[in-house]
Structure 1
Amino acid sequence: MLQAQVLGRPGEDNALWVTADSGQGRKRLLLDCGAGTLTALPFAEFQAVDHLLFSHLHMDHVGGFDDFFRATFDRAGRENHVWGPPGTAQILSHRFQGYWWNFAPELRGTWLVHDVSAEEVQSFRFEAHEAFAVMHCAGTRGHQGTIIQTAEVSVQVVPLLHHGTSLGFILREPDRLTVDREALAQSKLSPGPWLTQLKHGVSGKLEIQGTVHDAAALAAKLMSREPGDSLAYFTDFLLDESELRRLSVALQNVQSLYAEAQYAPEDSELACRHHHTTVSQVARLAAAAEVKHLTLLHLSRRYRPDRWNDLLGTVRQTFPSASFPDGWIPSSTNLPQECWIAWNQSHQKLPSDGGSQFRGKDSINKMSFRGICAGAALSTLLG
């Protein structure tokens, strides 16, 4: 089972937390690590992460890395794996060096950082006991899309265009094998531990109640196969007509798409210039790929919260099964006018791309916005 949780608030940095549970094992994956996103997770959860995957290394996707690193830099018992586009290892090597490592000889953590290009993965190893000072080459291997393969989940990478390479990720759990009860009854075989072995793909000969059976033939007779859960995470990317065709093919048979909702349709020129999407384009992508559900994230602060429902409505005209993450909209759409005044004051002087890459916020204004809105909401409730 794949379970996904969007981290972060609307209009701020976001990330995606995914757990893959097979019943026999569990994997935890963090997709991007924007500032403040980890506060939604229990410390023990993100400290136990198996893989951190960066779509790219703009500030709003890597701003929370110091918090992550603080929790995991000396994790013993398992290696730390980080994945990202070419140049990720070089960038993180500087982050690793941003601390005073006078106690380094006592440390045990090992970090593997993987630079992912369209056709190969180049890996580098960093050791905590060396104060992360040496970027050891850890090998290069080719890939045909899939970069991570475990019993619980596979991760496929899809290159995206964002003034350089950004990475989209498609996560799939293995197909599920279930017992055909009618076929089992007809076989005259009594249920037992052998069924579990069959579900887990045992090969060769299988002895059941004193009789030897061919495991593959028996599985074909007694088991039915259905696709496991799947999801995709696409953010910060150009979506022109050629990319729409390419990405809709890549997303075939994906159940859930988590994608940016960066620009309104009337700002398509800005979207193209900054290699982002409009909500209309993302809706077309979801429809063309025939995904079952679209979750919108990475909202631009260019638009006031009272427009967010309009943006969602635009998406639903093309792709009805779309939503924002739980809790994003109800608390933001029916607030009194003083909230919008505070919102505008707290989001002045944004760069031309709507501030997606920058988070230079005035903390006083931000606190004022939240305080005014809290007071206004209370006044509304009290009549």
Structure 2
Amino acid sequence: MFELIFLGTSASAPSIKRNLPALMIKQNEHRFLVDCGEGTQRQILQAGIGFKNLNRILITHGHLDHILGLAGLLSTLLRWETLESLEIFGGQAALNRVHDLIYGVVLKGNHPVPELALVPITEGVFIEESEFTVSAVPVRHRGPDNYGYLFQEKGRYPFLPEKAEALGIPPGPWRGDLVGGKAIQLPDGRSIQPEEVLGEFRAGTRLMVLGDVGDTSNLVTYCHQADALVVEATYLESEAEMAAQFGHLTARQAADLALKSDVKQLILTHLSRRYRERDILAEAQAVFPQTIVARDFDVFTIKREENNI
């Protein structure tokens, strides 16, 4: 299960109700900030989630509306002396701009901060925890080294306590061993195999988060059967030529991607001030009805169920 907290849902420039791109993703004690537009630190405070355990930031690409907030956020963390460790992941081109921002502005003239690491990524898994992985997905936008992020919970075989009871296995370490895939031997001499108390395999929650996208032709495989797809909808189809010129999607194109990828839920973000939200939503829902337009401070829980939000 992943929790999404939208901190900024505007495109290019903030509006009265929408800040620049930033999305917090939580999985138990783990927290990830995807992009960090100008004003993100204030959005974090307004959302009431604070800075605790915020130690990994994922950058989709190096355009300023997605990274300018790093300057203020890092400055605050250093001033409050709350920075224990911070890893900023992204393509090399994006990290070059982040480096210039941090060491050319925020920390100009200072020594490098040992707690801060800029970590270049390439396609594939780059974070693996006990319960989930995070993979980098190549995205076609203006410039090189653009990435989306696939959050994938590891599948499991669910423990069936009624079967354990029927076999006379008491609560405790034996059950834990069986859940972990280890056979056990009971005091009466019986050997119990894990498959005797485990159910059918259940795939984990699959969440795809994309930043700016100019071409979706390579993304269907990566997005396939995601429980939720977060993606931009900067333009309406009436201005599809302009969208292509600037490397962005229309609401219809985002919905087409969701439909072709057989995802369960589409969440649109990165909205331009030139359109009404209801028009963006209507255009997308005409193609893919399971569409939501995110607003700042919206919170969604994504899990692998038929009704997952």
- TM (norm. structure 1) is 0.67
Helix, strand or coil: the match of 1:228? coil
Measured after TM superposition, the shift of residue 269 of structure 1 is 0.6
Give the distance between the partners of 2:198 and 2:44, measured in 1 at CA: 38
Helix, strand or coil: the match of 1:286? helix
Query: Could you say if the C-alpha distance between residues 308 and 116 of structure 1 is closer, same or farther in structure 2, counting changes exceeding 3 Å?
Result: same
Instruction: Map residues 129-278 of structure 1 onto 2, 5 A cutoff.
Output: 145-164=124-143, 165-199=145-179, 201=180, 203=182, 206-209=184-187, 211=189, 213=191, 218-224=193-199, 225-239=201-215, 243-244=216-217, 246-278=218-250
Give the distance between the partners of 2:231 and 2:114, measured in 1 at CA: 33
Matched, 1:286 2:258: yes
Letter matched to residue 24 of structure 2: W
Query: Could you say if the C-alpha distance between residues 321 and 191 of structure 1 is closer, same or farther in structure 2, counting changes exceeding 3 Å?
Result: same
Give the distance between the partners of 1:7 and 1:76, measured in 2 at CA: 21
List alignment gaps of at least 5 residues for structure 2: 15-19, 299-309
What is the percent sequence identity of the aligned residues? 24
Matched, 1:34 2:37: yes
Measured after TM superposition, the shift of residue 290 of structure 1 is 1.0
Measured after TM superposition, the shift of residue 190 of structure 1 is 2.4
Measured after TM superposition, the shift of residue 168 of structure 1 is 0.7
* Alignment partner, residue 8 of structure 2: 8
Give the distance between the partners of 2:110 and 2:221, measured in 1 at CA: 51
Helix, strand or coil: the match of 2:150? strand
Q: Which is bigger in relative contact order (C-alpha 8 A, separation at least 6)?
A: 2
Give the distance between the partners of 2:258 and 2:273, measured in 1 at CA: 23
Matched, 1:65 2:70: yes
Give the distance between the partners of 1:38 and 1:91, measured in 2 at CA: 19
Give the distance between the partners of 1:202 and 1:177, measured in 2 at CA: 9
List alignment gaps of at least 5 residues for structure 1: 119-144, 330-383
* Alignment partner, residue 306 of structure 2: none
Residues 158-199 of structure 1: per-residue CA shift (max 9 Å, x gap): 111112231111101222442223432442322323323433
Give the distance between the partners of 1:2 and 1:180, measured in 2 at CA: 24
Give the distance between the partners of 1:150 and 1:328, measured in 2 at CA: 27
Give the distance between the partners of 1:202 and 1:179, measured in 2 at CA: 11
* Alignment partner, residue 17 of structure 2: none
Helix, strand or coil: the match of 1:40? helix
Contact 2:233 2:249 (8 Å CA) reproduced: yes
Partner residue of 1:321 out of 287, 290, 294: 290
Give the distance between the partners of 2:97 and 2:195, measured in 1 at CA: 49
* Alignment partner, residue 91 of structure 2: 85
Measured after TM superposition, the shift of residue 271 of structure 1 is 1.1
Give the distance between the partners of 1:76 and 1:63, measured in 2 at CA: 19
Give the distance between the partners of 2:237 and 2:24, measured in 1 at CA: 29
* Alignment partner, residue 17 of structure 1: 24
Aligned residues: 284
Contact 1:7 1:38 (8 Å CA) reproduced: no
Give the distance between the partners of 2:110 and 2:189, measured in 1 at CA: 62
Give the distance between the partners of 1:286 and 1:103, measured in 2 at CA: 46
Give the distance between the partners of 2:58 and 2:274, measured in 1 at CA: 27
Helix, strand or coil: the match of 1:292? coil
Query: Could you say if the C-alpha distance between residues 176 and 40 of structure 1 is closer, same or farther in structure 2, counting changes exceeding 3 Å?
Result: farther
Give the distance between the partners of 1:316 and 1:266, measured in 2 at CA: 16
Contact 1:47 1:71 (8 Å CA) reproduced: no
